Structure 1
Amino acid sequence: MKKRAMILCALMLFVATVFTGCSNSKNSGGSSGSSESGVSTGGNATDSGTEQSASVSKESKFTIRAGAWFIDERAHQVAFKKAVEDGYRKLYPNATIQWDITLGATYFDKLKAQFASDTAPDVTFYQSLDFAKAGNLMDLSNEPWVSRMTDAAMKDPTLSYEGKLYGAPGSGNVGGGIWYNQDLFNKLGIQVPKTVQEFLDACEKIKTAGKTPIALGFKDLWTANMFLMSWLQSYSFPNDADYGKKLYDGTVKFDDAVIQKVYQNVEAMKSKGYFNKNALSIDWPQSAQLFASGDAAMIVQGPWMPSSNKENIEKGGYDSFQIGFFPFMDEKGNQSLVLNSGTGLGINAKTKLVQESKDLVNLMLSPEIMGPWLEGEGGLPMLKDVDVKGTDPVIDTIKQYLGGGLTLPYYLSAFMSASASNAMVDVLTKVVSGVKFDAADLKAAQDAMDKDKATVVLPQT
């Protein structure tokens, strides 16, 4: 299911509040921007798939649409919208930004339909290169902000397709890792584990103390995918840089011993009672409550956890604690983290407001707007001149891991079809439910990969 696949592959990201907008020019042959001043904003498509718009006066009255699935009513999101609106008003005093926001994965289904009917927003955040592959997004390779992108952003598989750049980077997200209650670890005398055995020993000590070692919220399947792919990351790439390509080529199969080992670890943890019993019936916010309340010592989530946990503690009236972080590992202590934006900011290839859309994107990427937004998101900058003032000391810990281990811009799932990734998650949830792991169950993932291999857009390696 497309909706499911979108959430499973992206890290992260994730909840939003909602406003939807309809195109003001559905019958004009393909754009979403509308002019209300009598000034033409249309043009003919060039060979590159972009459009040339007629000059719009700075005083013209028009509406430009911006789409996203994550901009909600949290303070930093509200401040982001206001800063964008205020900044754009200085460029175009009579322009209106219409925010086209829809909750979660539903947004991607809607966006796909909008592109098909020429009603998509002028500017939109996105997660899948399918939109670039389909010709929906404008080539932004020559935009002035490209020179500001970090090396990690330039390698981000969400942004580039066939040598062209179709999106600007959003928040720099550390792929899933293990967040832990540092105060509880200190109380129990637990050191940050570096190997799988040390990790399991820590879980046992936590369980003995009457706490749940790890809170899972696998009702939201993207959290299951994050858990699985994060652990596979540290088992695969540190030992074989070409592991993903081999999985794609078929020289490594989905029932490979490396992949089986992760499932066997999960089976062992389940059998020892290291997960919450309702792991499959609660969603990620509920699992985050278990963590914030102190009932669970660890949780596997993305970079939003420090701010989310602080908010949950305040709202729930729980005892405050310092949050810590460490990556998954293998038996030898190898670890690998993912750092990418996971989110592109693109422009509709058929917009009638070409320059106006480019100006809006450039504004959103300005240090004055991007910096504060990233602080609220708990994200790292993907633009060289954007400064993020991390207020939680765990951010320094994350940076140390990023600098001290193997950091890649993609998960192992980037080399799989969405259907294969989904099939692997199905096996994971089966094991978490208490069913004994059977390597033969991974045949469904291999079959899905063989069937849908053509849908895979390989990342730059």
Structure 2
Amino acid sequence: MTRLIPSAALAAALATMAGGAWAQEEEVTLTYLTDGSPDGVAVAEALTEAYTAQHPNVTFDLEQRPGGSDGDNLVKTRLATGEMSDIFAYNAGSLFQALNPTETLEPLDDLPNMAGVLDGFKGVVTGTDGKVYGVPLRAAMGGGIFYNVPMYEELGLKVPQTWEEFEANNEAIKAAGHVPVAQTYGDTWTSQLFVLADYFNVQAEVPDFAEKYTANQAKYADTPAAMRGFEHLQEGFEKGWWNEDFGAATYDDGLRMVAEGEAAHYPMLTFAIGAIQQNYPESLENVGFFAQPGPAGAPNGLTVWYLDAMYVPKGGEHTDIAKDFVNFAASPEACQIMIDTVGATGPLLVEGCDLPADVPRAVSDMLPYFQDGRTAPALEFLSPIKGPALEQITVEVGSGIRPAAEAAALYDQDVQKQAQQLGIEGW
């Protein structure tokens, strides 16, 4: 296919980002694969519409993928078969590394706007060759627990700092006739939060866990601090904290429940603030957020995700134009479009894009953890190993099918397979 812009002209166009038409007016349609969440789709639509307004000859064909392991498998299969869309949105961290980025993705270091992307994010989309392969598609996220503020006020509850205080709150909520904790195993990926969001507490107790875990010197099953997240799931089921339909309820059901007061808590990543703003705007200020509490006497802090990035696969028909769109997505202008579309869901990752003064309450609740330095990256950003079966295992524990100790041991087996596939030394 004839290139739309010679490479020198393309470099100039990228550098100026003047928003004018392409040098040649050939009509081009880029395919864009995004996740199927309401906020993910809304952001994709807003960014592509803004880019087409600047480049009328470029239009987009959006496709949604499922979440969880089904979505992971779809992305890997399309990359392996050369059938990936021109642009796609996917996770950073360990799942990004599992894509074999040095072989399947276009490096993006030369994009002009990459200079404004924060270094903390670049580290989670950097391949083994030291090149950067993605640009941020969302704000930094916290993993923890959304809570219904009016219910807390009605029952006179305080935000818990320890797991024991969280247990006491749940029992008071249950005694008052409310659902203590929403669980939504109809979307299996949502079952992982009690395990994954507990990593700040794991690291506080075992500072070298990530290093030893990666080197095959520490396991979930033989590290009490790491097994604790599985034990929390078992406890919640056994104590009747869940909603009755937890097996069939979906992610959107969980957001609705906590926003509208059907449940007191929903363990989730804070990117969901955008979906609440999209789907339940009248209840947005009813939702607060706190980090997953740890044991008594431990520091109280937040596990942080650098969640999604935008990538360009190798071998596409329209690589130059796709990279120009990704460069646009890394600009302060595009960052502002994201805020206008789904709201401010956390600290932003592009220089020149600042949080507005009137952020949602849940965002305000999250910021002190960052300001006080009480954060730790999720394990998947400290280690390339994350077993693909975790969400099925956590569904089993949270459904009373498998006890926590057995689940932790099973996950260790799943992790071993992943580490061997990645060729990590020591496995």
Both structures adopt the same fold (TM-score exceeding 0.5): yes
Amino acid at match of 2:332: P
Q: Deviation at 1:113?
A: 4.1
What is the match of residue 314 of structure 2? 349
Amino acid at match of 2:409: K
Q: Deviation at 1:75?
A: 5.8
8 A contact 2:191–2:394 mirrored in 1: yes
Aligned partners of 1:200, 1:103: CA distance in 2, in Å? 36
What is the match of residue 101 of structure 1? 63
Q: Deviation at 1:373?
A: 1.0
2:146 equivalent to 1:179: yes
2:400 equivalent to 1:434: yes
Q: 1:133 aligns with which of 98, 101, 121?
A: 101
CA change 1:244–1:142 in 2 (3 A) is: same
Aligned partners of 1:70, 1:253: CA distance in 2, in Å? 31
SS of the residue aligned with 1:217? coil
Q: 2:413 aligns with which of 447, 458, 461?
A: 447
2:272 equivalent to 1:305: yes
8 A contact 1:244–1:412 mirrored in 2: no
8 A contact 2:157–2:169 mirrored in 1: yes
Q: 1:398 aligns with which of 331, 349, 366?
A: 366
Q: Deviation at 1:426?
A: 4.2
What is the match of residue 193 of structure 1? 160
Aligned partners of 2:78, 2:216: CA distance in 1, in Å? 36
Q: Deviation at 1:275?
A: 1.6
Structure 1 residues without counterparts, runs of 5 or longer? 1-33, 44-55, 90-94
SS of the residue aligned with 1:415? coil
What is the match of residue 85 of structure 2? 121
What is the match of residue 59 of structure 1? 24
Aligned partners of 2:4, 2:229: CA distance in 1, in Å? 58
Q: 1:291 aligns with which of 258, 265, 271?
A: 258
What is the match of residue 14 of structure 2? none
Q: Write out per-residue CA displacement over residues 231-252 of structure 1, whole angstroms, 9 at most, x where no aligned residue.
A: 2x13211223321121222221
Q: Deviation at 1:86?
A: 0.7
Aligned partners of 2:381, 2:237: CA distance in 1, in Å? 24
Amino acid at match of 1:374: I
Q: 1:328 aligns with which of 292, 307, 322?
A: 292
Higher helix share: 2
Amino acid at match of 1:104: P
Aligned partners of 1:131, 1:435: CA distance in 2, in Å? 32
Aligned partners of 1:139, 1:186: CA distance in 2, in Å? 50
8 A contact 1:122–1:347 mirrored in 2: yes
Aligned partners of 1:41, 1:451: CA distance in 2, in Å? 45
SS of the residue aligned with 1:125? strand
Q: Write out per-residue CA displacement over residues 31-74 of structure 1, whole angstroms, 9 at most, x where no aligned residue.
A: xxx55xxx67799xxxxxxxxxxxx9613304151422237697
SS of the residue aligned with 2:104? coil
What is the match of residue 211 of structure 2? 245
What is the match of residue 10 of structure 2? none
Aligned partners of 1:114, 1:153: CA distance in 2, in Å? 25
Q: Deviation at 1:375?
A: 4.4
SS of the residue aligned with 1:135? helix
Q: Deviation at 1:265?
A: 3.1
8 A contact 2:289–2:362 mirrored in 1: yes
What is the match of residue 369 of structure 1? 334
Aligned partners of 2:271, 2:280: CA distance in 1, in Å? 14
Deviates more, 1:190-199 or 1:361-370: 361-370
8 A contact 1:292–1:309 mirrored in 2: yes
| Paired-residue identity, % | 18
8 A contact 1:228–1:425 mirrored in 2: no
Q: Deviation at 1:427?
A: 4.2
Q: Write out per-residue CA displacement over residues 249-307 of structure 1, whole angstroms, 9 at most, x where no aligned residue.
A: 22212212112333333333322222223222222122223223312111112224334
What is the match of residue 17 of structure 2? none
CA change 1:213–1:147 in 2 (3 A) is: same
Aligned partners of 2:230, 2:329: CA distance in 1, in Å? 42
Aligned partners of 1:406, 1:161: CA distance in 2, in Å? 29
Aligned partners of 1:116, 1:345: CA distance in 2, in Å? 18
CA change 1:70–1:435 in 2 (3 A) is: closer
Aligned partners of 1:306, 1:57: CA distance in 2, in Å? 36
Aligned partners of 2:240, 2:83: CA distance in 1, in Å? 50
Aligned partners of 1:312, 1:41: CA distance in 2, in Å? 41
Aligned partners of 1:435, 1:401: CA distance in 2, in Å? 35
Q: Write out per-residue CA displacement over residues 173-231 of structure 1, whole angstroms, 9 at most, x where no aligned residue.
A: 31421011112111211111001111111111111111111111022111012332112
CA change 1:236–1:186 in 2 (3 A) is: same
CA change 1:429–1:355 in 2 (3 A) is: closer
Q: 2:50 aligns with which of 49, 67, 83?
A: 83
Q: Deviation at 1:110?
A: 4.5
Aligned partners of 1:425, 1:353: CA distance in 2, in Å? 35
Deviates more, 1:247-256 or 1:116-125: 116-125
SS of the residue aligned with 1:102? strand
Structure 2 residues without counterparts, runs of 5 or longer? 8-20
Within 5 A, what are the aligned runs for 1:153-168? 153-155=121-123, 157-168=124-135
CA change 1:252–1:313 in 2 (3 A) is: same
Amino acid at match of 2:161: K
Amino acid at match of 1:146: M
CA change 1:384–1:134 in 2 (3 A) is: closer
Q: Deviation at 1:416?
A: 6.5
8 A contact 2:185–2:246 mirrored in 1: yes
Aligned partners of 1:77, 1:208: CA distance in 2, in Å? 43
CA change 1:373–1:406 in 2 (3 A) is: same
TM-score (ref. length: structure 2): 0.82
What is the match of residue 408 of structure 1? 376
SS of the residue aligned with 2:99? helix
Aligned partners of 1:112, 1:263: CA distance in 2, in Å? 28
